[in-house]
Amino acid sequence: MKEKGLLIVVSGCSGAGKGTVLAELFAKADRLSYSVSATTRLPRPGEIDGVNYHFVTKETFEDMIAKGEILEYTTYAGNYYGTPKSELKKTESGDSLILEIELEGATNVKRMVPDAVTIVIVPPSLEVLENRLRSRGTNTEEDIARRMKQAAVELRHITDYEYIVLNETGHADRAADEILAIIRAEQSKTARNPDLVGSLTVNN
Amino acid sequence: MKEKGLLIVVSGCSGAGKGTVLAELFAKADRLSYSVSATTRLPRPGEIDGVNYHFVTKETFEDMIAKGEILEYTTYAGNYYGTPKSELKKTESGDSLILEIELEGATNVKRMVPDAVTIVIVPPSLEVLENRLRSRGTNTEEDIARRMKQAAVELRHITDYEYIVLNETGHADRAADEILAIIRAEQSKTARNPDLVGSLTVNN
């Protein structure tokens, strides 16, 4: 049923546990690739070019933007972070591609790649989110208030996503299973299987 | 994530193995009900009213049509077969409802229940379909030719369905797993989870 891999956009608000869910997902999934972002920030010790990020200069990044080679990008602390369109070629092998982006970016990706699948990972409730931030112990009350405010702003975007996956505390594996089900279902969409449809209707 | 059960329309052309796939599906699934059709044909020995069919008179069936109580219906060998709208109430408990109908009927159901999920079960190819009919041994060449022609007419409708599930010979369990994945994914659609979305965005 897999004629071409899917582009799967995954976002999550602070404290949603997106990193844990994606680690579980990659441990369970076959034929799944990860989209490596380009950035202008300097590599940290241990980071490998082409694995953690494509590390490029500001001039190169701006040149890629000008040439339309960047799918979506954002700036943070004076550096660019973005998805090179060349990453999408990973889907041509039939592998699906996970593109991890900020909640604000889904609408832009969907406009450029209309058949992208968009998934947002959320905590069960705002109370659970606050408890998670508090239980880390490293956050001051000001930090918690600031992060809750940030989460509220991010959560306004959840209706931009086609799928919403609840990450219950201690059950990241279930959230990963839910994403696997979404991938499998999307691969079964009639519109994604033109060869099969064609072979069954060709002589009618 | 299950605020209300789904209405799941399942169709299959002759020889697709729909019956076997649905038997596997019901063996694996929790919280899945089966929509019982109404018919004007007489019960066969062993058939139970309300289990196999709702057995009604022609007058009752026509009265139900007139009152708008029938979701979709067809006639076969002089008898009515149709889905009473009252069957849809089974989704109110949170259970999903399997509605098995002819390939021609999906468009009508979708028009009346826009959030219905439509799934068509197909054989891997027309060659496999023909081999299956031939291997039964009970079909004459004329029967086979007639059924292949009928299948071709039915298959024109497969693009009316959102999902296409391949039933490979000997692997009805895989087709059932694919339908389970579709159900799970559909239950994760943001549009189907207004309470969760509301609880996460209420104070923004």
What is the ipTM for the molecules in this complex? Answer: 0.90
Q: Which residues contact residue B90 at a Cβ distance below 8 angstroms, ignoring those fewer than 6 apart?
A: B5, B33, B35, B97
- pTM (2 decimals)? 0.91
CB A157 within 8 A of CB A104: yes
Q: Is the pLDDT of residue A180 over 50?
A: yes
Rounded distance, CA B200 to CA B204, Å? 9
- Quickly list H helices, A82-171: 106-112, 126-135, 141-155
Task: Give the β-pairing of B96-100 and B7-12.
Answer: parallel
Nearest CB to A188; choose among B126, B165, B188: B165
Task: Give the other-Cβ count within 10 Å of B92's Cβ.
Answer: 10
Residue of chain A whose Cα is closest to the Cα of B164: A190
Q: Is the pLDDT of residue B203 over 90?
A: no
User: Distance of CA A99 to CAs A84, A159, B74, Å?
Assistant: 11, 18, 46
pLDDT of residue A2: 47
Nearest CB to A158; choose among B159, B162, B200: B200
Chain B positions in Cβ-Cβ contact with residue A150 (cut-off 8 Å): none
Exposed / middle / buried, residue B82 (Cβ in 10 Å: 0-12, 13-18, 19+): buried
Beta bridge pairs of residue B189: A163
pLDDT of residue B157: 92
pLDDT of residue A202: 67
Chain A positions in Cβ-Cβ contact with residue B159 (cut-off 8 Å): 190, 197, 201
Per-residue pLDDT tens over the stretch A113-122: 999 999 999 9
Question: Do A190 and B161 count as a contact with CB atoms less than 8 A apart?
Answer: yes
Per-residue pLDDT tens over the stretch B141-188: 998 898 899 889 889 999 999 999 999 988 999 999 999 999 999 999
Interface probe with A: pick from B193, B200, B203, most Cβ of A within 10 Å: B200
Per-residue pLDDT tens over the stretch A34-73: 999 999 999 999 999 999 999 999 999 999 999 999 999 9
Question: Do A126 and B200 count as a contact with CB atoms less than 8 A apart?
Answer: yes
**Quick one: tokens of A5?**
């891999």
Chain B positions in Cβ-Cβ contact with residue A203 (cut-off 8 Å): 126, 152
If interface means Cβ-Cβ distance under 8 Å, which residues of chain B face chain A? 1, 120, 122-123, 125-126, 152-153, 155-156, 158-159, 161-166, 178, 180-182, 184-186, 188-190, 193, 196-197, 199-201, 203-204
Residue of chain B whose Cα is closest to the Cα of A127: B200
Q: Is the pLDDT of residue A174 over 50?
A: yes
| A98 three-state secondary structure | strand
Closest Cα in chain A, distance from residue B196 (Å): 8
Interface probe with B: pick from A119, A153, A164, A178, most Cβ of B within 10 Å: A164
What integer best gives the mean pLDDT of chain B? Answer: 92
DSSP B141-193: HHHHHHHHHHHHHHHTTGGGSSEEEE--TT-HHHHHHHHHHHHHHHHTBGGG-
Residue of chain B whose Cα is closest to the Cα of A179: B185
Per-residue pLDDT tens over the stretch B25-44: 999 998 999 999 999 999 99
**Quick one: tokens of A47?**
């980071």
- Among residues B189, B183, B1, which one has the least CA distance to residue A167? B1
| A163 three-state secondary structure | strand
Beta bridge pairs of residue A165: A121
Q: Is the pLDDT of residue B14 over 80?
A: no
**Quick one: tokens of A45?**
């010790």
